Amino acid sequence: MKTSIIVPAHNEEKNIKNFLIALSKKIKNSEIIVVCNGCTDRTVEIARNIKRKNIKQIVLREAAKGTAIIKGLRIAKGDRIGFVDADGAFSADDVARIAKENADCIIASKWKGRDFNSVNSSVGRKIGSRVWNFFVRNLLGLNFSDTQAGLKFFRKKVIKSIGYDFICKGFEFDVELLYKIKNSGFRIKEIYVPVKKIGKTTFNASHAPRMFANLIRVWLGI
């Protein structure tokens, strides 16, 4: 069974090499699709110089996580298809474990079974996460503890069923993806995965209005 792993990467020159090599070694019979989106550092150059046959690279001008993942989904050939953030927040061992889970869709969660103080993140990010989660649960009925963790895998038939037409192209992409999967009748399994380290984030408060507006559009179906 072949596994496709999409790695959206925005300015990850400090992490990308070690993480890609670890993934390549850990997950056999895989293709790793690195989508460098809007990079202004050496990420593209470093990824290009990794000499491994199963690592492919796409370079996008647009710095948008959702756009990067959709681009990878369109060319992925695996029986299992997933994506993971390039910052190394999740270990290659955990990526391999999630990829093998028996479910239509499997999502990692930093929050499942954990309280506020036990989650490995800054206080500000944890507060923002809980506000977002409350909104997502109540608007779209997605009763998961963590829709935003950057580690998710799917059976190929799931991606074929939901297609590639998305409203959300930024950080809110994960929510629309799960909403489409749930409404298509597929089973979504959420399991706790520890965060190896707290990665940097390109999110800032100015993104929030657009993210909320896009989820309203998803809810309304427009």
Asked if 159 contacts 73 with a C-beta cutoff of 8 angstroms, the reply is: yes
Domain range 3-220, CATH architecture: Alpha-Beta Complex (3.90)
Residue with tokens 């990079």: 39
Q: Which of 204, 108, 106, 215 is nearest to 166 (CA)?
A: 215
**What is the structure's pLDDT at 22?**
95
Terminal-to-terminal C-alpha distance of the chain: 37
**172 CA to centre of own chain:** 11
Q: Cα separation of 174 and 203, whole Å?
A: 14
Q: Which of 211, 213, 203, 217 is nearest to 85 (CA)?
A: 203
**What is the structure's pLDDT at 200?**
59
Cα dist. 26→163, 196, 218 in Å?
A: 29, 16, 37
- Whole-structure pTM value: 0.93
Low-confidence ranges of the chain (pLDDT < 50): none
Q: Which of 134, 59, 121, 115 is nearest to 87 (CA)?
A: 121
List the chain domain ranges: 3-220
**What is the structure's pLDDT at 204?**
56
Asked if 101 contacts 153 with a C-beta cutoff of 8 angstroms, the reply is: yes
